[in-house]
Amino acid sequence: MNREKMALVRQNFVRVFGDGGDIRCYFAPGRVNLIGEHTDYNGGHVFPCALTIGTYGVARKRNDNKIRFYSVNFNKLGVIETNTQNLVYQKNLGWVNYPLGVMWAMDERGKKMECGLDIMVFGTIPNGSGLSSSASIEVITGFILNDMFNFGFSNQELALIGQYSENNFNGVNCGIMDQFAIAMGKKNNAIFLDTATLEYEYAPLKLAGAKIVIACSNKKRGLGDSKYNERRAQCEEALADLQKKLDIKALGELDEETFEENKGLIKDPINYQRAKHAVYENQRTIKAVEALKNNDLETFGKLMNESHVSLRDDYEVTGKELDALVESSWTQRGVIGSRMTGAGFGGCTVSIVNEDDVELFVERVGRDYKEKIGYKADFYVVDIGDGPVKVNF
């Protein structure tokens, strides 16, 4: 979180909505997942961390029931207005449906806004990058409402409310990982989360002279209109086939050996591939965290690489842009591991790179990508940050 950026957003708030009243400032991070992709809705493990880039928010109560939204990122859209009696999905509202969904989800839980709000947001997460700009908006909205109206939710509950709203208001069947990683982030730690039970532990990221480098493909993607929901349905079909013999509730309950012994139960070959990824990726994640605890960064990197291959070949969610970034990364000096991160179909890759080689890595991967794809990628050397905060001025 950058206090100078926060101050600028507050100035913008006053310019757009006027001065006076109790103006409050907030920040919620984005997240990157180091390993454990498409496992969260399959009852498996994930290993994300919160970032120091994210969403800045400024809010103030109104004396009526109007809710006015303004995004610095989408300033051409101007102020978008609705009210506390109209918490319904409207396609023409665009990005506003994410905070509106959280308001609706809280209303469903009996936590009603006693008045309207003016809300301004500014995101430093590249839009459509797969670093969870939507979940960051959801968490910051929940955090704002919790503070403004003393609703009393824990951060973990805010994560569940964000997921519920995205599933049921915005129609994206996402798992819990994004909202959980953002709401529960801890500086310099990743979160080893069992998505089936929500049991979690913080794991210090001891990267021993290495840095996390995110490469944004600039291929835009949207979860709702991608094949994300289709992948989830395929996994559910595979699970239903396995349940005819096995007493399991999720693919994440299986180890590789049990899966191989019973894979013949899965009728559709495509569904088999999807389930194979979910099972093996979950086990990779468990092994990767164990390697990190043992300061075995080399094994962690190899598991990252294997994760990308599985996402490319079995889950088929990478695409030429992400493959180009990762395949170039694998050839560079000082690269410990590299893989796509997020839902796929565009978005970002995450690499662990020796600090001394980062500059050359960015230059060479950027050059290779532009030559192959025709437009440039953007690179971010990131730090691991905390969860949502209220910022006092």
Beta-carbon contacts of residue 15 (< 8 Å; ≥ 6 apart):
none
Q: How confident is the model at residue 30 (pLDDT cuts 50, 70, 90)?
A: very high
120 lies in a domain? yes
Taking the C-alpha atoms of residue 93 and residue 82, their distance in angstroms, rounded to an integer, is 9
Among the listed residues 123, 101, 155, 163, the one whose alpha carbon sits nearest the alpha carbon of residue 30: 123
- Residue 393: the pLDDT is 83
234 lies in a domain? no
Instruction: Give me the sign of the Cα torsion angle 200, 171, 279, 129.
Output: negative
Above 70 in pLDDT, residue 317?
yes
Average of per-residue pLDDT across 123-129 = 77
Average of per-residue pLDDT across 41-69 = 96
The total of structural domains in the chain comes to: 1
Average of per-residue pLDDT across 72-87 = 95
Average of per-residue pLDDT across 251-257 = 97
Indicate if 241 belongs to the active site: no
Domain boundaries, position 166 = 3-203+385-391
* pLDDT tens-place string over residues 378-390: 999 999 999 999 9
Looking at residue 134, which CATH number applies to its domain?
3.30.230.10
302 lies in a domain? no
Taking the C-alpha atoms of residue 139 and residue 223, their distance in angstroms, rounded to an integer, is 17
286 lies in a domain? no
Q: Which residue has the tokens 């498409």?
A: 38
| Burial of 296: CB neighbours in 10 Å, binned 0-12, 13-18, 19+ | middle
> Which token pair is 123?
């995101």
Taking the C-alpha atoms of residue 199 and residue 379, their distance in angstroms, rounded to an integer, is 33
Average of per-residue pLDDT across 27-54 = 95
Q: How confident is the model at residue 128 (pLDDT cuts 50, 70, 90)?
A: low
237 lies in a domain? no
Beta-carbon contacts of residue 321 (< 8 Å; ≥ 6 apart):
217, 218, 219, 346, 369, 373
Q: Which of 40, 118, 178, 241 is catalytic?
A: 178
* pLDDT tens-place string over residues 191-238: 999 999 999 999 998 888 999 999 999 986 655 456 888 999 999 999
Above 70 in pLDDT, residue 90?
yes
Beta-carbon contacts of residue 12 (< 8 Å; ≥ 6 apart):
58, 72, 120, 122
Output the pTM of the full model.
0.91
101 lies in a domain? yes
Looking at every residue in the chain, the average pLDDT score rounds to 94
- Residue 222: the pLDDT is 54
Above 80 in pLDDT, residue 132?
no
183 lies in a domain? yes
Above 70 in pLDDT, residue 168?
yes
318 lies in a domain? no
